């Protein structure tokens, strides 16, 4: 099970001050903000209210968007929620499960994870705003663990 260290929590407080680590529950909760740009596409500044639960049993935590923002985006552009890579259990599906270990080859890494989450949420925002993928997502299919 992943448990954040004091140094990781201190670092996180600097880069994502809207997120609070709840020790007893071993999760992060709050607002995740980012400004990002993929290649020469549009820069996007956005925020999501998240719960990031480290008691997932896997390398990566389970990430939930808690205010229905992604669901609203799906309704606006008339797409099903799974096109935004939200699983039926409401977890965000950030990567194919068979690719997790190659991306996180040394196990969970908070800095890498925050970067991964930023790029993932950029993808979600871009798809909701512009109605097209900024880069190709995986085909839908069974087996994603996060």
Partner 1 sequence: MMIKNWVRNTSTLEYKSYNVVQNVISFTNAIYSKGKGDETYDVIIRDFFNYWTNLIPDNDNRKGHFQIALARANKAVQYEKEGKHIEASEEWRKIFDSNLFPHSDKNEERENETNRFSTAARPWSF
Longest dimension (CA), the chain: 43
Residues in touch with partner 1 (CB under 8 A): 34-39, 42-46, 67, 72, 75-78, 82, 85-87, 93-96, 99, 103, 115-116, 118-120, 122-124, 129-131, 135-138, 140-144
Residue with smaller CB distance to partner 1, 3 or 135: 135
Task: Kindly give the interhelix angle for 6-15 and 110-130, rounded to the nearest 10 degrees.
Answer: 30
**Nearest approach, Cβ of residue 110 and partner 1 (Å):** 15
Q: How far is the CB of 23 from partner 1 (least distance, A)?
A: 27
Q: By C-beta, is 24 or 139 nearer to partner 1?
A: 139
The two three-digit tokens of residue 144, written as one number: 């994603």
* Residues 17, 23, 29, 34, CA torsion sign: positive
CB of 124 to partner 1, least distance (A): 8
User: Min. distance of Cβ 22 from partner 1 in angstroms?
Assistant: 22
- Helix crossing, 69-77 with 110-130: angle to 10°? 30
Kindly report the number of other CB atoms within 10 A of residue 3's CB atom: 11
Q: CB-wise, 15 or 26, nearer to partner 1? A: 15
16 Rama sector, left if φ>0, alpha if ψ -120 to 50, beta otherwise: beta
Would you say 6 or 130 has its CB closer to partner 1? 130
Distances (CA, A) of 93 to 43, 72, 121, 125: 23, 17, 11, 14
For residue 127, the minimal CB distance to partner 1 (Å) is: 9
Q: Return the number of the residue (29 or 129) whose C-beta is nearest partner 1.
A: 129
């Amino acid at each position: 099970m992943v448990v954040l260290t004091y140094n990781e929590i201190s670092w996180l407080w600097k880069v994502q001050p809207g997120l609070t680590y709840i020790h007893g529950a071993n999760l992060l909760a709050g607002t995740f903000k980012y400004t990002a740009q993929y290649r020469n596409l549009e820069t996007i500044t956005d925020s999501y209210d998240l719960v990031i639960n480290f008691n997932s049993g896997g390398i990566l935590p389970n990430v939930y968007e808690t205010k229905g923002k992604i669901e609203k985006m799906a309704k606006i552009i008339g797409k099903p929620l799974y096109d935004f890579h939200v699983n039926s259990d409401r977890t965000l599906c950030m990567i194919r499960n068979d690719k997790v270990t190659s991306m996180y080859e040394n196990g969970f890494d908070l800095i890498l994870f925050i970067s991964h989450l930023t790029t993932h949420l950029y993808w979600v925002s871009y798809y909701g705003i512009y109605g097209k993928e900024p880069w190709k997502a995986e085909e839908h299919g069974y087996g994603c663990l996060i």
